[in-house]
Amino acid sequence: MTKNNQTPADEQGHTQESSDGIDVAHLAGLARLAIDADKTQAVSKDLQSIIGLIDVMQSVNTEGVEPLSHAFDGTARLRADDVTEHPDPEQFQRNAPATADHYYLVPRVVE
């Protein structure tokens, strides 16, 4: 991102940028993505150009405009709290990398 006064900062005044660009390692950690060290610079460069593109919208005057989160501004429908389906756990777990007794297995979390 080109350093400009439109770049937003958080409450503590920090931006997601380090001295040579966006803090990719921090972002990747938030997104639970491992990024190869040799790719960090290229990823940072791409993100900077994307954020540069996005920052164009900061020039639009939105004072007094309500945000729109859904095309037709509707509220989600409620339905009766009835059980309508009885999925077969085995069928759904067939895609799981590791299971036992209908549980999903992951590396030990508590020693």
Partner 1 sequence: MNEVLSLRDMSRALSQGDVSSVELVQDHLARINAIDSGLNSFITLTADAALAQAAAADESRAAGDQRPALGLPIAHKDIFCTAGVLTTAGSKMLSNFVAPYDATVVSKMADAGMVSLGKTNMDEFAMGSSNETSFFGSVANPWDHDRVPGGSSGGSAAAVAAGLVAGATGTDTGGSIRQPAALCGITGLKPTYGRVSRFGMIAFASSLDQAGPMTRSAEDAALMLAVMAGFDPKDSTSARREDHWLEDLAVNGIADLDRPLVIGLPEQYFQNSTGQECLQAAKQELEALGHQFKAVSLPHTDAAIPVYYVLASAEASTNLSRYDGVRFGHRCENPTSLQDLYERSREEGFGDEVKRRILTGTYTLSVGYFDAYYLKAQKIRRLIAQDFDAAFNDVDLLLTPTAPTPAFKRGQLTDDPVAMYQQDLYTVPTSLAGLPAMSLPCGFTDNLPMGMQLIAPAFREDLALGLAAQFQRQTDWHLKQAGDIN
**Which residue ranges make up the site for partner 1 (CB under 8 A)?**
8-12, 14, 16, 22, 24, 27-28, 30-36, 43, 46-47, 49-58, 60, 62, 65-72, 74, 76-77, 79, 87, 91-98, 104, 106-107, 109
- C-alpha 92/C-alpha 79 separation (Å) is 24
Residue 47 CB neighbour total at 10 angstroms: 18
- C-alpha 41/C-alpha 36 separation (Å) is 10
- In the bound state with partner 1, the residue whose beta carbon lies nearer, of 19 and 91, is 91
CB of 100 to partner 1, least distance (A): 13
End-to-end Cα separation, the chain, in angstroms: 44
CB of 60 to partner 1, least distance (A): 5
CB of 83 to partner 1, least distance (A): 14
Q: Please, are residues 21 and 44 in contact by the beta-carbon 8 Å criterion?
A: yes
- In the bound state with partner 1, the residue whose beta carbon lies nearer, of 19 and 95, is 95
In one-letter notation, the amino acid at residue 49 is S
